Amino acid sequence: MCTENDTATRRPPSTRFREAMIAGVLTLACSAGAHAAQGGPAGLLDRAVAFLGNFHVVLVHFPIALLIVAAAAESISLVTRSERLHEGSKFFVWVGSLAAVVAATLGWFAADGAAVEAQVETLMLHRWIGTAAALWSLVVVGFMVVSTERGTPRSRIAYCLSLVVGAALVGAAGHLGGTLVHGADHFAW
């Protein structure tokens, strides 16, 4: 049973989103900045960070797939007015955004030990576009929350457009990651 105190402590979804976005940005910034600022011999933290960085390659495929599929599902749902596709895209956005923040953090960890001296420029592009994609995915969640709260066609179109931009960013970061692993000519016939 709901009491007056219970109702007073509830926060609207937009407030919860702001809190989640701030936590995601702080997590990304702290994990990237704290490790980059460390110097001296490799200690336990350095070894732990290097170990966790190995999981970037495993996890990174989830946000790429989920956010691209979410963009496709949401775009199709706008044309067909399919509520099932719209609800599915929202689930993919939540999971894909969470995975994007974790994958980007692990990517920063992995980049420190990467042996890509000949591809420093590609690594920097991959690193920053991947970080932008992770942060943008949190913006997409914000547009999704606003769209759900307002329910207007304009807010839904804004959500869909932000999602398409996010899908393009994760696709670009993924392509650069493929270039780092497989070489610049990995699409050659």
Domain coordinates in residue numbering, the chain: 61-189
Alpha carbon distance 85, 91 (integer Å): 10
Q: What is the per-residue pLDDT for 10?
A: 60
3-state SS class at 171:
helix
45-98 pLDDT tens trace? 877 877 887 777 788 888 898 999 999 999 999 899 888 998 999 999 999 999
Where does the pLDDT of residue 21 fall: very low under 50, low under 70, confident under 90, or very high at 90 and above? low
What pLDDT was estimated at residue 4? Answer: 46
Higher-scoring residue by pLDDT: 23, 59: 59
Task: Give the pLDDT score at 169.
Answer: 93
The pLDDT assigned to 151 comes to 85
**Nearest to 18, CA basis, from 163, 138, 103:** 138
- Residue 118 has a pLDDT of 64
Structure tokens at 50: 């290097």
- Of 31-45, 60-74, 136-150, 175-189, the least confident: 31-45
Please identify which residue in the block is written with the tokens 């591809």.
Answer: 119
| Tokens standing for residue 8 | 């007073």
Identify the weakest region by mean pLDDT among 69-73, 98-102, 109-113, 149-153. Answer: 109-113
Q: What is the rounded CA–CA span in Å between residue 18 and residue 155? A: 17
CA separation for the pair 170, 66 (Å, rounded): 10
Tokens coding 153:
């066609």
Q: Report the distance separating Cα 69 and Cα 53, nearest Å.
A: 26
Read off the pLDDT of each residue in 132-152 and give the average, rounded to a whole number.
91
Confidence band for 7, pLDDT divided at 50, 70 and 90? very low
- What pLDDT is attached to residue 145? 92
Please write down the HEC assignment for all residues of the chain: CCCHHHHHHCCCHHHHHHHHHHHHHHHHHHHHHHHHHCCCCCCHHHHHHHHHHCCHHHHCHHHHHHHHHHHHHHHHHHHHCCHHHHHHHHHHHHHHHHHHHHHHHHHHHHHHCCCCHHHHHHHHHHHHHHHHHHHHHHHHHHHHHHHHHHCCHHHHHHHHHHHHHHHHHHHHHHHHHHHHHHCCCCCCC
Query: What is the pTM assigned to this prediction?
Result: 0.72
For residue 134, give the amino acid letter.
Answer: A
Residue type, 23: A
